[in-house]
Amino acid sequence: MKKKLRLLIASVATIGLLASCTKEKEKNVNIYMWGGSKEINIFMDDVVAPKILEKEKIVLKRVPIVDIKDVVNKLIIEKQAGKKDGSVDVLWVNGENFKALKAAGVLEENILEKIKNKDLLKESTIVRDFGEEINGLEIPFGEAQFNFIYNSKNGEIPFTGWETLSEYVKVNPGRFSYPNTGNFTGSAFVRNIVIDILGYDNIIKMSNEDFKANLNSVWSYLNELEPYLWRKGETYPESEGKLDLLYSSGEVDVTMGYTINKVNSKIESGEYPETSKSFLLNRGTLFNNHYLTIPGNAKNKDAALIVINELVSPEIQLLKQEPKNWGDFTILDMKKLSSEDEKAFNELNKSDKIPSLEELQEKRVMELTPDKLKLIEEGWQENVGKN
Q: How confident is the model at residue 11 (pLDDT cuts 50, 70, 90)?
A: very low
Q: Where in the chain is the domain with CATH 3.40.190.10?
A: 26-142+290-354, 145-287+364-385
Q: Which pLDDT does position 20 carry in this prediction? A: 39
Percent of all residues in the chain with a pLDDT value above 90, rounded to a whole number = 84
The pLDDT of residue 172? 97
pLDDT in tens, 90-132: 999 998 899 999 999 999 999 999 999 999 999 999 999 998 9
Per-residue pLDDT band for 25 (boundaries 50, 70, 90) equals low
Average pLDDT (129-141) is 95
**5-9, 169-173, 261-265: which range is least confident on average?**
5-9
Q: What is the mean pLDDT of residues 34-45?
A: 92
Class of domain 145-287+364-385: alpha beta
Distance CA 348, CA 248 (A): 24
**What topology is assigned to 26-142+290-354 in CATH?**
D-Maltodextrin-Binding Protein; domain 2 (3.40.190)
pLDDT tens digits, one per residue of 207-256: 999 999 999 999 999 999 999 999 999 999 999 999 999 999 999 999 99
Q: For the chain, what is the radius of gyration of the CA atoms?
A: 24
CB of 362 closer than 8 Å to CB of 335: no
What is the band of 17 on the pLDDT scale with cuts at 50, 70, 90?
very low
Tell me the backbone φ, ψ of residue 322, rounded to 5 degrees: -65, 130
Q: Write a three-state SS string for 294-306.
A: CECCECCHHHHHH
Residue predicted with more confidence, 23 or 92: 92
Distance CA(214)–CA(207), nearest Å, equals 11
Q: Global pTM?
A: 0.83
pLDDT at 380 over 70: yes
DSSP per residue over 276-323, as a string? EEEE--TT-EEEEEEEEE-BTTBS-HHHHHHHHHHHTSHHHHHHHHST
Band of the pLDDT at 14, cuts 50, 70, 90?
very low
Q: Indicate whether 382 pLDDT > 60.
A: yes
- pLDDT confidence of 2, banded at 50, 70, 90? very low
Which distant-in-sequence residues (6+ apart) come within 8 Å of 187 by Cβ? Answer: 181, 373, 376, 377, 380
**For the chain, what is the mean pLDDT?**
92
Statement: residue 74 has pLDDT above 80: yes
Per residue in 181-206, pLDDT tens? 988 899 999 999 999 999 999 999 99
Which pLDDT does position 204 carry in this prediction?
94
Q: Is the pLDDT of residue 1 over 90?
A: no
The per-residue pLDDT for 13 is 43
The pLDDT-based confidence of 386 (bands split at 50, 70, 90) is confident
Scanning the chain, the segments in alpha helix (DSSP H) are 2-25, 38-42, 49-56, 68-80, 95-104, 162-171, 184-198, 200-205, 208-225, 240-248, 262-268, 301-311, 314-321, 339-348, 357-362, 370-380
pLDDT band at 348 (very low <50, low <70, confident <90, very high): confident
- Sign of torsion over alpha carbons 27, 32, 37, 38: positive
Pick from 5-14, 82-91, 119-128, 282-291: least confident? 5-14
Residue 7: pLDDT over 60: no
